[in-house]
């Protein structure tokens, strides 16, 4: 949708590329003071920090705004923003262009399952019916982008409130991006954004629009080109408002919420600003209300005296006052440690006579727990009779060994290493950049153990090092086939697609990586911290979205 609106003619695209190159070249050549002044102004006004990998996103947004305003040089544009009477308006448009708006309905299904199963029922249990003067349930999606999260919240609350005669649900969505809020208020979405919505909810709360050029026809929910409009019942529950989270304190209307979600937002602020925003959001909760943040936020840095704070697999859950129960899925590290201490079975107890012939118990470590395994041996009645010479049980059919010990011959020829040893040797060869030997070992391993994901991952990494993205994409595609929920596999597949110039596939795999990180039901051990990978995915997605607009 955005790519069609901003694509323009060929001359315009060429000019925009020149402006973008000029902006990047100026940044690299020499004018760091002006850019730093612009970054500082953005941080002072909006609290957003554009450094490290995000600096490229800001540079692309500057190039985009330079083209829109007709300003030819970076120095002139910085001066225009910093000192002109309309500089504040242009700064807002610049931040709007640099804001990543990648989202979808029910983004982070683990969180929304917890909301539907535990948090929302706990909130509703405290609500009085409307006939008894009960108030509306109030929820806030802070940093709602194009509105998918706000509408998802409303769906969860409306479904939970069915048949309880409660006052209407009220959901507020706020964001700093005016264009994103306009999109949210329109209620128009492609089927791709609705892929996590249950079909029954889709039929009840959304209206499918006719496909372009075919009046009265519908593409159906399985077609990504299908377009939907939010239905009147759902739209009536949701309101959108421009709001800057970094401007404290918040107005009175942003108070007394039962539920607040603030996800994929705080990563763009400095740590101090993020902590201040979190404390201010906690003040916006009513008694017993919940605030949900990203999982990477450190609970120790929050210093919330009147709240209970718990780390969950889907994020940080903060409850106003600790008197109410927190979700049962939420476990602190101490609770998890105490629950993992499973008592060891008492193996000193006497066993029944029927098991008198059993061999001693063997200890097996299964999923981190030590359990006892007993191997039973069937024996004849005479099997337990003590041998008259040694006093040991005489088992039937016991082989009679010769008096002279058997002379075992030493094996001749090279000893074949186990698959594990060969994999370690391949890793060592790759570390010392002996890629030919590493690939030779890995190729034989791939034939012997085709379902070992580690083999495909290492082969893909080596092919990327050798600048062979086609071979790397084959390896990563096998890795994704074996584990579709591996975010790093999708991330590296996106790298291969980028090297091949397949930017649509690159964008698709980046979105898949982001979805794997946010929708995973279990915590994975990743090579990178999950928050770093999420931010990197969002940065690259934003960069590709901007490229589509050129």
Find the distance separating the first CA and the last CA of the chain, reported in whole Å.
13
| Euclidean distance between CA atoms 225 and 189, whole angstroms | 10
**Same domain (yes/no): 305, 179:** yes
**Same domain (yes/no): 167, 228:** yes
Query: Is 422 within 8 Å of 444 (Cβ atoms)?
Result: yes
Give me 538's structure tokens: 């969002």
Residue 513 Cα distances to 54, 191, 262, 491, angstroms = 18, 19, 21, 6
Residues written for the chain: 550
**Same domain (yes/no): 474, 530:** yes
CATH number at residue 253: 3.40.50.150
Per-residue pLDDT of the chain (550 residues), as tens digits, is: 333 333 333 333 333 333 344 444 444 433 677 778 888 888 888 888 876 555 667 877 888 889 888 988 888 898 888 888 888 889 888 888 877 666 789 988 888 999 999 999 999 998 988 888 889 999 999 999 999 999 999 999 999 988 887 888 999 999 998 889 999 999 999 998 898 899 999 999 999 998 664 444 455 545 556 899 999 999 999 999 999 999 999 999 999 999 999 998 888 888 888 889 999 999 999 999 999 998 777 766 667 777 888 877 778 899 987 444 455 444 443 333 333 333 333 433 333 333 333 333 333 233 233 333 333 333 444 444 444 444 444 444 444 444 444 444 444 445 567 888 889 999 999 999 899 999 999 988 988 888 888 999 999 999 999 999 999 998 998 888 888 888 889 989 999 999 998 888 888 888 888 878 776 544 556 666 777 787 788 778 877 876 765 5
**Same domain (yes/no): 170, 295:** yes
**Same domain (yes/no): 89, 128:** no
Running DSSP on this structure, what letter comes out for residue 300?
Answer: G
Q: Return the number of other C-beta atoms located less than 10 Å from residue 13's C-beta.
A: 14
Number of independent structural domains in the chain: 3
**Same domain (yes/no): 86, 65:** yes
**Same domain (yes/no): 116, 20:** no
**Same domain (yes/no): 48, 94:** yes
Give me 165's structure tokens: 């005669």
**Same domain (yes/no): 87, 127:** no
Q: Is position 291 within any domain?
A: yes
Query: Is 207 within 8 Å of 238 (Cβ atoms)?
Result: no
Q: Is position 177 within any domain?
A: yes
Q: Is position 318 within any domain?
A: yes
Query: What domain range includes position 286?
Result: 109-333
Angle formed by the axes of helices 487-499 and 503-519, nearest 10°: 170
Order the strands of the 315-320 sheet from edge to edge: 238-242, 170-175, 138-142, 257-262, 285-293, 315-320, 307-312
**Same domain (yes/no): 491, 545:** yes
**pLDDT on residue 286:** 94
| Euclidean distance between CA atoms 211 and 199, whole angstroms | 19
Angle formed by the axes of helices 32-46 and 87-98, nearest 10°: 90
Residue 232 Cα distances to 183, 195, 197, 202, 205, angstroms = 16, 20, 17, 13, 8
Q: Is position 397 within any domain?
A: no
Chain position carrying tokens 């001749």: 412
């Amino acid at each position: 949708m955005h790519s069609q609106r901003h694509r323009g003619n060929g001359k315009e695209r060429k000019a925009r590329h020149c402006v973008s190159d000029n902006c990047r070249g100026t940044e690299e050549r020499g004018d760091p003071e002006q850019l730093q002044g612009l970054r500082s102004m953005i941080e002072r006004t909006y609290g957003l920090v554009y450094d490290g990998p995000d600096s490229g996103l800001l540079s692309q947004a500057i190039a985009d705004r330079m083209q829109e305003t007709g300003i030819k040089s970076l120095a002139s544009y910085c001066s225009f923003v910093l000192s002109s009477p309309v500089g504040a308006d242009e700064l807002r448009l610049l931040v709007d262009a640099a804001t990543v708006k990648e989202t979808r309905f029910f983004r982070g299904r683990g969180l929304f399952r917890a909301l539907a199963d535990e948090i929302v029922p706990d909130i509703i249990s405290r609500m009085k019916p409307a006939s008894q003067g009960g108030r509306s349930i109030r929820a806030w999606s802070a940093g709602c982008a194009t509105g998918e999260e706000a509408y998802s919240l409303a769906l969860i609350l409306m479904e939970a409130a069915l048949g309880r005669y409660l006052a209407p649900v009220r959901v507020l969505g706020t964001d700093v991006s005016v264009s994103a809020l306009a999109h949210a208020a329109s209620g128009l979405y492609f089927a791709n954004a609705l892929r996590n919505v249950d079909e029954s909810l889709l039929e009840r709360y959304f209206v499918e629009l006719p496909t372009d050029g075919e009046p009265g026809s519908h593409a159906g929910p399985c077609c990504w080109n299908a377009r939907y409009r939010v239905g009147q019942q759902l739209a009536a529950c949701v309101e959108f408002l421009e709001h800057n989270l970094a401007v404290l304190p918040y107005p009175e209307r942003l108070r007394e919420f039962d539920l607040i979600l603030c996800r994929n937002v705080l990563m763009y602020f400095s740590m101090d600003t993020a902590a201040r925003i979190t404390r201010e959001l906690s003040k916006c909760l009513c008694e017993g209300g919940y605030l949900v943040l990203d999982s990477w936020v450190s609970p120790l840095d929050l210093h919330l005296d009147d709240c209970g704070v718990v780390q969950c697999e889907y994020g940080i859950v903060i409850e106003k006052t600790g008197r109410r129960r927190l979700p049962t899925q939420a476990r602190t590290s101490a609770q998890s440690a105490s629950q993992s201490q499973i008592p060891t079975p008492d193996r000193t107890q006497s066993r029944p006579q029927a098991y008198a012939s059993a061999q001693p118990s063997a200890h097996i470590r299964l999923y981190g727990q030590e359990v006892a395994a007993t191997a039973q041996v069937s024996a004849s009645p005479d099997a337990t009779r003590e041998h008259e010479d040694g006093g040991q049980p005489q088992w039937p059919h016991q082989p009679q060994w010769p008096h002279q010990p058997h002379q075992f011959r030493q094996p001749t020829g090279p000893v074949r290493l186990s698959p594990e040893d060969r994999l370690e040797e391949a890793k060592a060869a790759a570390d010392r950049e002996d890629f030919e030997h590493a690939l030779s070992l890995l190729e034989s391993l791939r034939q012997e153990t085709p379902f070992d994901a580690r083999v495909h991952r290492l082969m893909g990494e080596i092919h990327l090092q050798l600048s062979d993205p086609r071979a790397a994409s084959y390896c990563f595609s096998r890795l994704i086939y074996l584990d579709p929920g591996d975010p790093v596999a999708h991330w590296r597949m996106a790298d291969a697609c980028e090297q091949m110039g397949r930017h649509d596939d690159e964008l698709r795999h980046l979105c898949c990586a982001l979805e794997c990180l946010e929708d995973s039901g279990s915590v994975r051990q990743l090579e990178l911290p999950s928050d770093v990978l999420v931010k990197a995915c969002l940065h690259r997605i934003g960069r590709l979205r901007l490229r589509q607009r050129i």
